[in-house]
Each structure stands twice: as C-alpha cells, then as structure tokens.
Amino acid sequence: MSSVESTSEREARLGGTFGAHLAAVCERSARALSASGYAGLVVHSGSLLGVFEDDRTYPFEANAPFKVWVPLQDAADCFVWFEPGSAPRLIIHRPGDYWHKSAELPQAYWTRHFEVRTATDRAGVRAQLPADLSRAAYIGDALAELTRWGIGAINPRHLMRRLDYARAVKTPYELACLREASRLGARGHLAAERAFTAGASEFEIELAFLEACGQREQELPYNPIIALNAGGAVLHYQVLEKHPPRERHSLLIDAGAEFAGYASDITRTHSYEDADFAALIGRLDQMQQALCAGVRAGVDWRDVHLNAHQLTGALLREADITRCGADEAVATAVTSVFLPHGIGHLLGLEVHDVGGFMRSPEGGDIPRPDGHPNLRLTRVLEEGFVVTMEPGIYFIEQLLDAARADARGRRINWSRVAALAKFGGIRIEDDLAVTREGCEDLTREAFRSLQPA
C-alpha cells in the first residue's frame, strides 16, 4: 500500500471493513453475555483521573474494552450500550464547559453503525439507558453513581474473561489499523535514527520521533524508551537526558505509535561508528528473523521462547561472550543472564494485550516454562493473533554480578563483557500478524513502504 495514501482513501478503506468488525464484536459479545447470564452490556470509555490535591488531571487514556467498539481515544465518560439483536448505542459526553473543549460529534467511517446520542453529565447518560439494568453487565471505572443505576454486575470476571480471550484474534479492520500504527511507528524510528546519527540527546531523539509520527507523547501507546550507550541495559529505561553524552556508542529505541486505538511496538538498536557492535546487531537481527520465520498458527509460543534461548546460547558463544555451548548455556541459565525477558507478547488495543495466559474462555491459565517467569504469552498461536518478536542480549550489572558470584561465572568471558558493557544491550522487535502458513511482519513491511521508490 502506498505511503502517500490520502486521508479520504484511508477512511474509505477502513470504512469497508469496520462494519464486519463491529458485527464480529457484537456476535462474540452476545455469546459471552448469554454464557454469563446477562442480557445487555454497558461499556465505559474511562474517567479523567485528578492529580492529588490539584485541579489538574492526568492525560486521558480510553479503556481498551471501549476502544474495541469505538475508535475514540480522547473522549472521557462516553458509553456504549449493547443489547443483542439491536444496533449498539454510543453516548458521547459533551459537558457545558468553557474551560475545556468538548468532544466533537464524530463524522467518520464508523459512525453510521451506531445510534449516536449525547449527554452533558452522567445523569444524562443514565436517562438514555434502559430503565431496567438489573440483567445488564457494566465494564469500566467503578463510578459512585453505579449503585443507583441498578446494574446487575460491575466488571464481572467471568464475562470479561470471555471477551478478553476473544480479543486475541484480530479482525481485518483491526489488522488494517495495526498496519497503519506500524507505518507511523516506522516513520518515527527513521527520524530518530537520523537524529541519533546527527548527535542529538535522548530528549531530542524523542522530539524527532514525535514529530515524524505526528503524535503527542500522550497519544502514543507507551512512553518511548530512548537509551543511549549503557542506558540500553535498563529494559524499561525511563530517562530522557537533555544533553548528549560526551562519547556516543549506541542507541536502543523502543517506541511505537497508535492508530484508532491500536498500537505498534517497535525496537531497533543502532551502533555509532563501531563495526564490532554493528556486526553483533546484525547477527541478532538474523536470529530475530529466523525466529519470525517459525511463527505460524498452531505453534506453542512457549516453544518459540525456549528456541530463542537456544539460539541466544549459540549467538553468545559465537560472539565470544560465553565459554560454553548453547545447550550448556540454556541448561545452566546463562542465557537468562543476557536475555531476562520474554520473547514477546500479544499486541492490539494495549501494548501488552490481555489474554496471554488463558487456556480457554471458561477458565484456567497455561503456565510459563520453568525458569522463565517473565514470559507474557503461553498460548498456542491462532490465525489472526498479533504478537511481538523481541529477542535481545543485555549487559545488566545486577544480573552479571549475580552470575559472577556463582557457577555461571566461569562460563562467561568477562573481558568481552567489559568491552561491550558501554553499549548497554541490543533488542530488535517486530510486530507479527499470525497466518495459517506463517506470519505477516507488520514492522518490516512498514519500513519497506517508506523506502524511496
């Protein structure tokens, strides 16, 4: 698809798939309601959260169970009412407020599928819901008013579990949104790489990313991880240094964009004029692509994770970071010193999307493999799942110190580790849409779409 697609063309394309998406959401919601003993569903977009002892609020983020129905990310206190057999009703909160701009009445590709109403406050919302809500379930913030609304159940776990389980399989509309989020994220990454090469600080690199994405930080699915040099060893590095370092070695950037409520999650690592580290990045990229090639429907994600450790063990030995073979590195948990996180997770309306451990919609979880407590996904992949693939190797002081103090220490080449520590680490992350025979690499395709013709 062309990267110069116009807004009207994109709206038309999304409009062609949204109706089927909403029909699928209605169908699975109706099944979940019936199985759980409810006759209707109220879904809340979320409320503004006030700062302690202040009249300001934190940036608003719409609840994911609401976003699956409606692509509204910036409208607090909106509600969807769904009763099987009827068109869903959207109640948009439009307060009479001259301090803040009220939400616009949407005029987009999706609005014709809803009965759209407005309300100035929650009392007005209640007046537009059925008088008897005793057999309805509510999902959202536990508002004080709910005790007077007569709702049958608030956030019932057995219903939410069924809905969360089903969210893992994406509709064609959702995949289209995820592709667009990937393109926005890739555009930001290319700008960030240029800023890094030009000598920018972490803060300046983030500004370049935001400008290229055309999004404010609060619109992103998560705060970008932008780590120069040894900062790359901090997995969720949260500092944005405003001054460039005296010496520039590397950049690890984990940053995504959002489109219509759907997230991208992309990580790249760059070397600054160091051929040895650049070669190591290239080797991890090859390993990452080999892992991606093994993704298809029917694959147990736990096997993907364990295979990643086997391949990491071989890479560490090849790079002279360890002194033992892959089998021994895995068996003795040496690989976990350098790869302490999971190989990936579900992606969608949330960056770490729900349902990663669920055995079935009815109940039960699938355990993580022994010795791998940080894996976020244990399910067997299905067509329509979207997952991240993010192998990495890091030089994390706390983990290295622990390994140095026990039997793992003799299996590690400490002089090589010392030489690489200034780079922090390497992570390469793509977003993959699972198909019957393989996967669509949303991230690589996004970068390809941005290459000059």
What CATH number has the domain bearing residue 390?
3.90.230.10
**What gap in Å lies between CA 61 and CA 260, rounded to an integer?**
12
Same domain, residue pair 143 and 200: no
Looking at residue 2, its pLDDT comes to 41
Same domain, residue pair 235 and 367: yes
Same domain, residue pair 244 and 134: no
Q: Is the pLDDT of residue 452 over 90?
A: no
Looking at residue 4, its pLDDT comes to 62
What CATH number has the domain bearing residue 117?
3.40.350.10
Task: Confirm if 363 and 164 have CB atoms less than 8 A apart.
Answer: no
Looking at residue 207, its pLDDT comes to 98
Looking at residue 346, its pLDDT comes to 98
Same domain, residue pair 296 and 410: yes
Query: Could you tell me the CA-to-CA distances from 303 to 73, 230, 340, 342, 369 in Å, in that order?
Result: 36, 31, 16, 12, 9
pLDDT in tens, 206-215: 999 999 999 9
425 phi-psi bin (left φ>0, alpha ψ -120 to 50, beta other): left
Q: Is the pLDDT of residue 444 over 50?
A: yes
Supply the mean pLDDT for the chain: 96
Same domain, residue pair 314 and 227: yes
Q: How confident is the model over 130-139, as a mean pLDDT?
A: 98
Residue 361 belongs to a domain = yes
pLDDT band at 101 (very low <50, low <70, confident <90, very high): confident
Looking at residue 100, its pLDDT comes to 81
Domain count, the chain: 2
Q: Is the pLDDT of residue 1 over 60?
A: no
- Domain holding 257, by residue range, is 172-449
Q: How confident is the model over 298-322, as a mean pLDDT?
A: 98
Residue with tokens 């690499």: 441
Same domain, residue pair 81 and 16: yes
Q: How confident is the model over 405-415, as a mean pLDDT?
A: 97
Same domain, residue pair 185 and 203: yes
Residue 1 belongs to a domain = no
pLDDT band at 326 (very low <50, low <70, confident <90, very high): very high
Q: How confident is the model over 34-59, as a mean pLDDT?
A: 96
Residue 410 belongs to a domain = yes
Looking at residue 404, its pLDDT comes to 97
Residue 2 belongs to a domain = no
Tell me the percentage of the chain whose pLDDT exceeds 70: 99
The total of other beta-carbon atoms located within 10 Å of residue 28's CB is 18
Given 135, 166, 197, which residue is the final one in a domain?
166
DSSP alpha helices (H): ranges in 87-137?
122-127
Same domain, residue pair 157 and 215: no
Q: Is the pLDDT of residue 3 over 60?
A: no
Same domain, residue pair 201 and 52: no
